[in-house]
Amino acid sequence: MFDWLAVMVSTRRRWVLAGTLVASILAGIFGGGVVDLLSSGGFEDPGAESVLAAEALEEDFGAREPNLILLVTAPGAPVDNPQVAQAGVKLTQELAAEAGLEGVLSYWSTGASSLVSDDGSQALVLGTITGSEERIDARIAELAPNFRRDGSVIDVEVGGPAQVFAQVSTTVEEDLVRAETIAFPITLVLLVLVFGSLVSAFLPLIVGGIAIVGALAVLRMITGFTDVSVFALNLVTMLGLGLAIDYSLFVVSRFREELAGGHEPREAIARTVRTAGRTVAFSALTVALSLAALMVFPLYFLRSFAYAGIAVVILAAVVAIVFLPALLVVLGPRIDSLSLWKRRRTPVGEGFWHTIATGVMRHPIPFATIVIALLLVFGVPFLGVDWGSADDRVLPADTSSRVVSDKIRQNFSTNEATALSVVATGFGDPTQRTTEIEHYASDLSRLQGVAAVSALTGTYADGQRVAPSDASSKRFAGTDGTWLSVGSNREAYSVGGEALVDDIRSLEGPFETQVTGQSADLVDLKQSLFDRVPIAAGMIAVTTFVLLFLVFGSVLVPIKAIVLNLLSLTATFGVAVWVFQEGHSSGTLDFTATGSLEVTSAILM
For residue 306, give the CATH number of its domain. Answer: 1.20.1640.10
Listed range (21-35, 43-57, 251-265, 270-284) with the worst mean pLDDT: 251-265
Q: What is the pLDDT of residue 535?
A: 93
**Can you say whether residue 338 is alpha, beta or left, with left for phi > 0 and alpha for psi between -120 and 50 degrees?**
left
Helix H, strand E, coil C: the string for 246-287 is: HHHHHHHHHHHHHHHCCCCHHHHHHHHHHHHHHHHHHHHHHH
User: How many domains is the chain built from?
Assistant: 3
Instruction: Flag whether pLDDT at 347 surpasses 70.
Output: no
Q: What is the C-alpha to C-alpha distance for residues 113 and 111, in angstroms, rounded to an integer?
A: 6
Q: How confident is the model at residue 37 (pLDDT cuts 50, 70, 90)?
A: confident
Q: What is the C-alpha to C-alpha distance for residues 171 and 401, in angstroms, rounded to an integer?
A: 12
Instruction: Flag whether pLDDT at 440 surpasses 90.
Output: yes
For residue 357, being part of any structural domain is answered with: no
**Residue 23 domain boundaries:** 2-31+196-342
Q: How confident is the model at residue 350 (pLDDT cuts 50, 70, 90)?
A: low
In terms of C-beta density within 10 A (0-12 exposed, 13-18 middle, 19 or more buried), how is residue 397 classed?
A: exposed
For residue 335, being part of any structural domain is answered with: yes
Query: Which of 455, 448, 506 has the alpha carbon at shortest distance from 478?
Result: 455
- Based on the fold, state whether residues 92 and 223 are members of the same structural domain: no
> Cβ distance 286 to 216 under 8 Å?
no
- Based on the fold, state whether residues 130 and 208 are members of the same structural domain: no
Instruction: Flag whether pLDDT at 375 surpasses 80.
Output: yes
Q: What is the pLDDT of residue 553?
A: 83
For residue 402, being part of any structural domain is answered with: no
pLDDT digits (tens, 9 = 90+) for 107-164: 888 877 778 888 888 999 999 998 877 788 889 999 999 999 887 788 999 998 889 8
**Residue 48: C-alpha distances to residues 55, 219, 236, 500, 517 (Å):** 11, 27, 29, 17, 12
Q: What is the C-alpha to C-alpha distance for residues 246 and 287, in angstroms, rounded to an integer?
A: 13
Helix, strand, coil shares of the chain, percent, nearest 5, are 65, 10, 25
Residues near 398 by Cβ (< 8 Å), separated by ≥ 6?
none
Query: Which of 407, 410, 395 has the alpha carbon at shortest distance from 591?
Result: 395
pLDDT digits (tens, 9 = 90+) for 521-535: 999 999 999 999 999
- Based on the fold, state whether residues 19 and 93 are members of the same structural domain: no
> Cβ distance 486 to 519 under 8 Å?
no
Q: What is the C-alpha to C-alpha distance for residues 310 and 214, in angstroms, rounded to an integer?
A: 12
**Residue 81: C-alpha distances to residues 108, 121, 436 (Å):** 11, 10, 38
For residue 592, being part of any structural domain is answered with: no
- Based on the fold, state whether residues 440 and 508 are members of the same structural domain: yes
- Based on the fold, state whether residues 160 and 203 are members of the same structural domain: no
pLDDT digits (tens, 9 = 90+) for 163-197: 988 888 888 778 777 877 888 788 888 888 877 77
- Based on the fold, state whether residues 242 and 200 are members of the same structural domain: yes
> Cβ distance 167 to 401 under 8 Å?
yes
Distance spanning both ends of the chain, measured CA to CA: 34
For residue 604, being part of any structural domain is answered with: no
Residue 592, phi then psi, degrees to nearest 5: -105, 120
Instruction: Flag whether pLDDT at 414 surpasses 80.
Output: no
> Cβ distance 40 to 165 under 8 Å?
yes
For residue 146, give the CATH number of its domain. Answer: 3.30.70
Q: What is the C-alpha to C-alpha distance for residues 130 and 101, in angstroms, rounded to an integer?
A: 6
Q: What is the DSSP secondary-structure string of 285-298?
A: HHHHHHHGGGGGSS
Beta partners for residue 484, in sequence order: 422
For residue 231, being part of any structural domain is answered with: yes
- Based on the fold, state whether residues 224 and 306 are members of the same structural domain: yes
pLDDT averaged over the chain?
86
Where does a domain end: 495, 521, 547? 521
For residue 376, being part of any structural domain is answered with: no
- Based on the fold, state whether residues 6 and 77 are members of the same structural domain: no
- Based on the fold, state whether residues 274 and 159 are members of the same structural domain: no
For residue 549, being part of any structural domain is answered with: no
- Based on the fold, state whether residues 74 and 26 are members of the same structural domain: no
**Can you say whether residue 462 is alpha, beta or left, with left for phi > 0 and alpha for psi between -120 and 50 degrees?**
left
Q: What is the pLDDT of residue 107?
A: 86
